[in-house]
Structure 1
Amino acid sequence: MGRPRAFDEDEVVRAAVTLFGGRAYDGVSVDDLVSHLGVHRNSLYKAFGSKRGLYLIALRRHLAEDVRPLLDSLADASDAATALRLVTSADLDLLLLAAIERAPVDEEVAAEVTAALAAIDRVIADALGVPSDLAAALTATALGILLRGNPDNIATALAQYLSTLT
């Protein structure tokens, strides 16, 4: 019989979300995981199978704990400016990095990212009563604002402009 785990798997996954969300998959080595997560290499492999295994679990945790609550908030958005503010204020770092770095080379990651973005588009379309292509454009705009690195100023300016259109 093996020894009991000396780490809390839930805490490790939460820490991995932060680590991968800050440095991306390729920016995090197994040595980084071992040192930042406080898990021995053998325990890491035994619990998660691989770096990729931990990454997928972390991505799914991020989608469940950061993106799903955003969807609930977006469902109550009354206008495009509000939806834009909600998306640009959410913690979507891991989703963005996954879309840019891993989705083009990993089908499983691509499926998770595609489903998450489609869900955001759907909720925006339903909340605002707009066509799906317009909702997708709003999602893309919000994510682009996040990628630019100064979401507060850009989102505020755009939200102010959008509010004048209604």
Structure 2
Amino acid sequence: MIFYSILVGIGLLCLFLARRSNADLKTHFLQKQTSSNSPALEAINLASLHKMKLWKKILRALMPAIEMLGQRSGLKITGFIVVMIAVGVYTNDILLKIHTLWLPMLFPILGCLWAWSWLLKKRRQEFEQNFPDALNIMMSAITAGESIMQSISYVGRNA
């Protein structure tokens, strides 16, 4: 019973943190507009030239998969983890009838690793599908007389 209440508490905490991060859309929009150091406009990622802390490296590795989830990614991740814990508890208590907690803890870890690799593979497939079209659009813009930078920004807006 204590295990279930801890899981519910963790889920509520994750929902609270996810809601807190989406505080004010106006502030978010204005911060995006006023920032002049947009990483999309830089040719070299200067942040990669200095040492980063471990948690920032992990977050940088997870960001492509999180971006694939779209809006409310925190809620989707929390729901997935809760479902994986429930599957682990069900498998442990009903099917295998083992009285240990390692299986309910192992299911979410393995499930998150599987989901992360699946999202990265899906992202790569989408890139490989859309990249030839982006190249065609860029070559058409260059052939029409645009500069390389203008054609790249045109592809960024339209592709």
Relative to the length of structure 1, the TM-score reads 0.25
- Between the two structures, name the one with larger relative contact order (CA 8 Å, sep ≥ 6): 1
Higher CA-based Rg: 2
Q: TM-score, normalised by structure 2?
A: 0.26
